[in-house]
Structure 1
């Protein structure tokens, strides 16, 4: 058209003629618009104001949009938009729009079609040659929108060349892109790559990669999170992705940064890459080596890394020695004594517990003991005991009363404290200011017991100091004790510091504190808090006062630690991360890596995640802005919060790193479907985790997790010749191996796993087991140490309650908790994941050893909530079978454990000695009795016996059959003659006989 196009002239309106000499105002050519008139005030002003006009000519390329005609009384206006500013040329022919509109639009289109087609071509190339990243979509979308506004809607009404019309059609499609369109483009690219690199993916590992593994290798958004379940082949993806990036020409070996957590993991990754990819050019790096590399390149010299970075024991020893030295200073020593006397344990309000058993569990699980080592029943008693001890006042905890007041049914009275040198008793009563007891305590019975004790002391003229919970809550308890002791002329002299310190050493308290401080040094430094931030840490702590007191003890050790590093010219890991991060953020170091791959991402801490993010972003201010982040992890296996790992960085990955594409590996090659069903259902109870559906390659029909219930005091039986639960499990396992139709080429491996190392067989026992079971390869590991490993069979031990129970209920020290990632709002979240890790180490079968009289709540959950487990592979006793029905009648949460007295069997509470409840066995067969089968009765659990005995409907106590002159009757066991605590309720035997018959 440009060759044939003749010049067109747009005339003036009649008004324009008054000011211009020529009839025509504008001249339209293929190059642009020329102003014919060279005189007139308007043109002069236009030239003076707008530099775009050059010698009376405006090219089409200078115009952002086609000129627009509009009508006015004095003639048409021509509006042009150049450099984002709109200008108007007046006094044109009244018929200019109808005569010239399409011509100016066509001329503008022809001048801009190459620009349009070039944009479309570049977009097509970009989306077809690589995976369509979110950043690319965000980058080209404004360009598409800007071009779309230049061409639409006017272009729909103009006849344009086929080439231009085709480009506009594509532009319209690009403009209306939605998420589905983007995903369609991505999927088309994935399919093309799957086809092109099918042979590579078939042979990069010993077995061909699965479809989801291949897709994970190809997908390349700006931020990528691969959620890889246990045993799903995440390492194969790491190797395969690195190889694919190089093979497809998207990267050179030195474009790839592969981050592993430790030297061992990095070495294994290097060996895997070398073996599978045949190259040494792609190397895995630890965070240590990465940080050192960045610092060395900026500073020109390799930094000296403290030997403590790789030797925690040496660091712990230095902290312990520093603490010992500080304790020699009297003011610091007094602070230490005060901390251990009042702030060592995390105090809980007994009124906030649902049952007495729940409170006892807390005291047991946290092993609340006085400085003399006694297990006490309340924190108030703890502070009383510690004060008496520190002040050199001899006392006996729960000593028997000096006068015998015991009866056939009631044991001897024991006061909380007795001062034998002064003949003074101390009773602490858990009563608040409104005379209320905790909700689980019978208020009337409690006050009756108080009155009985008062009358007892009055009768025998013994001295007793009474203290109360409301005094403790007001911090008046010790003052009241001191005042009362003054009345009884109790003289005391504080123990020498050496004696107190010797006691703390004997209890292991100083060593524990040093270990805590050693861990806190790194966490504190990683937090990078100033004074204001530190105050915020204290304010948000679970126990602000205790946290502040602990930090006051930590502070001088922190100072000495930094001085030691400075004197030796060393930096620690936290310094290294901070330095490397600073160099990245200041631009002194620019990451050379276009592809950052992080293994075991669920174990990452926030400082490390900050470093990874800075690596990704350091190229943003350069022309190379195409860095992608690829992280592999499994939030179901996040078990390292105690070392600073933050699972929320995985579960809320996009919140920290930005828009993310998530992919999943959900086919496990390790454990069979029946192990997977139980483990997945168990760990999925936490709604804050990412939902996943893990499938197993190996499918079996029968349950693959067996529960072996056995008490510590149960002897061998005909069915079970061994009284040892571990031996029973290994015997059963050996039989399975011997009967297997597919004989393994190597000895089956067996992991013995427990929450704590000391719960596992020691070296001597392990050696003996290896001799006794020569067909098995047996290894002991803690749950944490087993992560990342697998065995043919697993035996899980130590599933108990208490201080070393599982899940661990021991409170994390508030100061440690304050510097750790925020705890999850789900009970035992990490401990639940730890059990999942233990279960999923086994390929074929898991044996779980359990004593149901003190069983882990996790184990109880597996049984009570009907998980698909095998419960009948092993025989079990009546107590082990019916453990749910023999709960303690006093504290309600303890389980009755069988014991043997001088004359007959009895059962005591598992919370002993905190709960002193004892219960006789069945009068006929000695089996345990339960209150849960019939209201108002206890019933023997032995179905072959079925003996029944009534309960007192006045006080709820057991009743016993007694004789009188008028014959037998049922009497309450709480009968104490004329005592105020006595219950004299009786029931005629005939009535009980009728009820039993009914």
Structure 2
């Protein structure tokens, strides 16, 4: 007999007789069977329990969530390694072998078995609770709503687009958990963001289901946790519930720090003088239009009060003001310059006492291959023309013996713009620095303190709520290349934050409340009774609130998070909401199973009970222009029988007139006894019209006004969006998101106007039947332009014509028609403070603007009149002018353009043809 050994040579036993060998073999087999059966018997109870649990997965009585199945899988894997993989089927018999094979199949492919179990459960559960879903609300729940209620994964995210019935889902979910015997009412935590929303939800759950579950705000549950752990609740700061008080406290802290005349006061004044606006220059842009658009958003107002045309000019002006040097900005030059063909010369600055002029030149130095240097201009600036202009200005001052001090963009690039200016002026002026408190009072006069205090307040709340440190912010500013502005801001924020914390004393604010409660839950000082956490308006969750939810979830292995929200409606970043938490819901709140992390389930409600198809689809298309938004299916409430979205273009100062026309049209469609609700929306509170007068004029319309943020959750038959114009206080707002907030946000939104686009979506989806957008015909917002130009939105016609889009040949902006003091029509560049391109309307029709096609030598008007094109500029055309040597042709843009030509026979023919027309 040969015995095979694993760790040595085979053993050969010789000379055994047949009968002895037979007996030996039978003894070995009996011992082998006994050994296997004995091992099996020792784990019989465990195996029976595992087998029963796995068998039940074929027809589960409860949703097979990852947190429920993971312990089963863990135990099955452990016994498989220690026992099942070693047992021999022939030794234990076919019945036991089949039971073990089932366990091993589960171990081998648990994902497929759990997935089949989920499908089986959902099919049966939806049928079992059909009557409940038919009657829990006034109307039967939709298939999507029913599915969201019975899905019970470790973390479930319900995507509830506008008007999709999210409150019905939360109501049904809470009632289902109790009625199905899954949870007792005191094991369910129902969370809302606002007190009134929590009260409404509690009442609705009890009224609909007879189940008493108290919905609470995050702050209420956090305050209760603190009270239970500490034995009493610390007093709440006065400003915690009052945003105005909070902002005023920040303003007072700034004022007190300045008047303390410390190093902090210098940091604060430095911020207002040099970093209040984003420090970009023409070198950061590829086109004049982009540069001018950016500058107009920045409100480049100096401490003296005038608006300047560039950030570097702002630095110079504020340095002069800080140091008590009186100056004039862009004054008329003291000597008249004759027959230059240029506009009157206005230097950048003139120092009042010394008479010194300052010109700031936008040039930088470029190293050439041979080691020499040359001056270069921004990408969109003609270098030769600019350098010629510099030479001409120097020549003017030399000829008239006026003193000129020059500064250059390359000096700022090299970090010595202001130190260099100080050196150049030292022989001519005496510095008389203004006290910090005097400068601060000036900042207050200019109303610059309010917006900065709001920025500080928003930053402070996000800083505390996100658990950030100053080192975190400093490091992130380096990664995001926010440069000196971020350092200047943090130099102010650090002492402001320290003083804010000091003034809290023994009181707490809402951020402290949430974070302290989260800490108590994390450390086990608070033991949570909750097994299901239901969160409404999840898109508004902040980092600190998310931390509390995670701490409560981590206390027990079977806790579920059920979140209902819409990332398309995330519009409260200023209050600390963090859209990152919803976009990465699984990573943040999900469970683990079979080596997979972030296990969660997403249910898309899809169907809207509010908006008809045109509004529902247009708003979806609009918000999904940002690829970071989560895509959802939309089933509209009905089909439009006429145009549901209208854009009304209002001439200057006629917004109220157009609003009355819109309301007249809506009222006219109602019968004698008919009524309709009309919601007027504005991006800002100051846009509210005279509601009493409007209600008196239109008694059949139930009129109301809300800001878009305040309108969330509301709906109306008709919505009218007011003042959808471009500009700092337009829509999209150009003052909402300071890049500095990225320092206290885990994920920066790179898409332009990302949050404002969601605000627009909220505005659009308040409407059931019609949406009317009123915008300026001369400066409609980028949103209005997008909606009207892109055929994807299906907005076929507009009420009131938007001006024909004429591109400015000087900067690429738009040429807009304006009425001159002489009553004539002119076309002026939208960037009037920077570009100055101005053209008269066609002299033949007096209304339209002659334009030339590429390569054409003629500018032709819509009225068919034609003119010789200017040989110098892109927009002008030539007309006859008289000079000292007789008539000649000159550009209509003179003196901005000096293009001219002699009158030739052919030109005379053109003039003759034109005059006949």
Partner of 2:528: 591
The alignment status of 1:752 with 2:680, answered yes or no, reads yes
Deviations 1:399-419 (A, max 9, x none): 222333476975322211223
Larger radius of gyration between Structure 1 and Structure 2: 1
Partner of 2:11: 73
Partner of 2:517: 580
The Cα of 1:713 is off from its aligned counterpart by 5.5
| Aligned mate of 1:677, from 578, 594, 617 | 617
**1:678–1:868 Cα contact (<8 Å) kept:** yes
The Cα of 1:201 is off from its aligned counterpart by 1.2
Deviations 1:591-632 (A, max 9, x none): 10111111111111111101101100012xxxxx21111111
Equivalent positions of 1:498-513 (< 5 A) are 499-513=438-452
**1:887–1:896 Cα contact (<8 Å) kept:** no
**1:409–1:973 Cα contact (<8 Å) kept:** no
- Distance in structure 2 (CA, Å) of the matches to 1:529 and 1:268: 35
Partner of 1:888: 808
Partner of 2:865: 947
What SS class does the counterpart of residue 896 from structure 1 fall into? strand
Equivalent positions of 1:635-784 (< 5 A) are 635-657=567-589, 658-712=598-652, 724-738=657-671, 747-761=675-689, 765-784=690-709
Instruction: Note closer, same or farther for the CA distance 1:987–1:94 as it changes in structure 2 (3 Å cut).
Output: farther
The Cα of 1:123 is off from its aligned counterpart by 2.8
- Distance in structure 1 (CA, Å) of the matches to 2:178 and 2:526: 25
| Aligned mate of 1:606, from 543, 548, 551 | 543
Equivalent positions of 1:321-400 (< 5 A) are 321-331=252-262, 332-400=264-332
**1:961–1:968 Cα contact (<8 Å) kept:** no
The Cα of 1:371 is off from its aligned counterpart by 0.9
The Cα of 1:378 is off from its aligned counterpart by 0.9
- Distance in structure 2 (CA, Å) of the matches to 1:72 and 1:408: 113
**1:68–1:101 Cα contact (<8 Å) kept:** no
TM-score computed with the length of structure 2 as normaliser: 0.89
Equivalent positions of 1:189-228 (< 5 A) are 189-228=121-160
**2:288–2:380 Cα contact (<8 Å) kept:** yes
Equivalent positions of 1:138-537 (< 5 A) are 138-146=70-78, 150-151=83-84, 157=90, 160=93, 163-164=95-96, 166-168=98-100, 170-171=102-103, 173-177=105-109, 179-279=111-211, 281-331=212-262, 332-405=264-337, 410-434=342-366, 435-487=375-427, 489-495=428-434, 499-530=438-469, 532-537=471-476
Equivalent positions of 1:790-801 (< 5 A) are 790-801=715-726
Partner of 2:906: 990
**1:970–1:988 Cα contact (<8 Å) kept:** no
What SS class does the counterpart of residue 826 from structure 2 fall into? strand
The Cα of 1:994 is off from its aligned counterpart by 7.9
The Cα of 1:867 is off from its aligned counterpart by 3.4
**1:753–1:794 Cα contact (<8 Å) kept:** yes
- Distance in structure 1 (CA, Å) of the matches to 2:2 and 2:544: 76
Instruction: Note closer, same or farther for the CA distance 1:813–1:873 as it changes in structure 2 (3 Å cut).
Output: closer
- Distance in structure 1 (CA, Å) of the matches to 2:754 and 2:852: 32
The Cα of 1:266 is off from its aligned counterpart by 0.5
Deviations 1:466-498 (A, max 9, x none): 2211122223223333333345x3445334556
What SS class does the counterpart of residue 404 from structure 2 fall into? strand
- Distance in structure 1 (CA, Å) of the matches to 2:839 and 2:2: 119
The Cα of 1:533 is off from its aligned counterpart by 3.3
Deviations 1:547-582 (A, max 9, x none): 33333333333333333332xx32222222222122
| Aligned mate of 2:508, from 571, 574, 579 | 571
The Cα of 1:223 is off from its aligned counterpart by 1.0
- More RCO (CA 8 Å, sep 6+): 2
Instruction: Note closer, same or farther for the CA distance 1:114–1:369 as it changes in structure 2 (3 Å cut).
Output: closer
- Distance in structure 1 (CA, Å) of the matches to 2:242 and 2:131: 45
Deviations 1:515-570 (A, max 9, x none): 3333333333223345643542453465343333333333333333333332xx32
Partner of 1:3: none
Q: After alignment, is 837-846 or 635-644 more displaced?
A: 635-644
Deviations 1:145-194 (A, max 9, x none): 45556456975556835x43553453354345354442221121112222
The alignment status of 1:874 with 2:793, answered yes or no, reads no
The alignment status of 1:561 with 2:493, answered yes or no, reads no
- Distance in structure 1 (CA, Å) of the matches to 2:285 and 2:441: 35
Instruction: Note closer, same or farther for the CA distance 1:933–1:679 as it changes in structure 2 (3 Å cut).
Output: farther
**2:470–2:494 Cα contact (<8 Å) kept:** no
The Cα of 1:389 is off from its aligned counterpart by 2.2
The Cα of 1:106 is off from its aligned counterpart by 7.3
**2:323–2:432 Cα contact (<8 Å) kept:** yes
The Cα of 1:289 is off from its aligned counterpart by 1.0
Equivalent positions of 1:19-34 (< 5 A) are none
Partner of 2:564: 632
- Distance in structure 1 (CA, Å) of the matches to 2:893 and 2:223: 74
The Cα of 1:964 is off from its aligned counterpart by 6.9
What SS class does the counterpart of residue 696 from structure 1 fall into? coil
**1:971–1:987 Cα contact (<8 Å) kept:** no
Partner of 2:838: 918
Instruction: Note closer, same or farther for the CA distance 1:653–1:390 as it changes in structure 2 (3 Å cut).
Output: same
Structure 1 stretches lacking a partner, 5+ long: 1-12, 16-66, 77-90, 620-624, 715-721
Deviations 1:211-248 (A, max 9, x none): 11111111111111111111111110100011011111
Aligned length: 886
What SS class does the counterpart of residue 467 from structure 1 fall into? strand
**1:366–1:811 Cα contact (<8 Å) kept:** no
- Distance in structure 2 (CA, Å) of the matches to 1:991 and 1:117: 106
**1:888–1:909 Cα contact (<8 Å) kept:** yes
TM-score computed with the length of structure 1 as normaliser: 0.82
The Cα of 1:114 is off from its aligned counterpart by 6.1
Instruction: Note closer, same or farther for the CA distance 1:952–1:178 as it changes in structure 2 (3 Å cut).
Output: farther
Instruction: Note closer, same or farther for the CA distance 1:165–1:497 as it changes in structure 2 (3 Å cut).
Output: closer
**1:930–1:938 Cα contact (<8 Å) kept:** no
**1:936–1:952 Cα contact (<8 Å) kept:** no
Instruction: Note closer, same or farther for the CA distance 1:507–1:959 as it changes in structure 2 (3 Å cut).
Output: same
- Distance in structure 2 (CA, Å) of the matches to 1:939 and 1:236: 63
Instruction: Note closer, same or farther for the CA distance 1:935–1:850 as it changes in structure 2 (3 Å cut).
Output: farther
- Distance in structure 2 (CA, Å) of the matches to 1:231 and 1:143: 45
Structure 2 stretches lacking a partner, 5+ long: 15-20, 367-374, 590-597
- Distance in structure 2 (CA, Å) of the matches to 1:803 and 1:110: 77
What SS class does the counterpart of residue 724 from structure 1 fall into? helix
**1:675–1:703 Cα contact (<8 Å) kept:** no
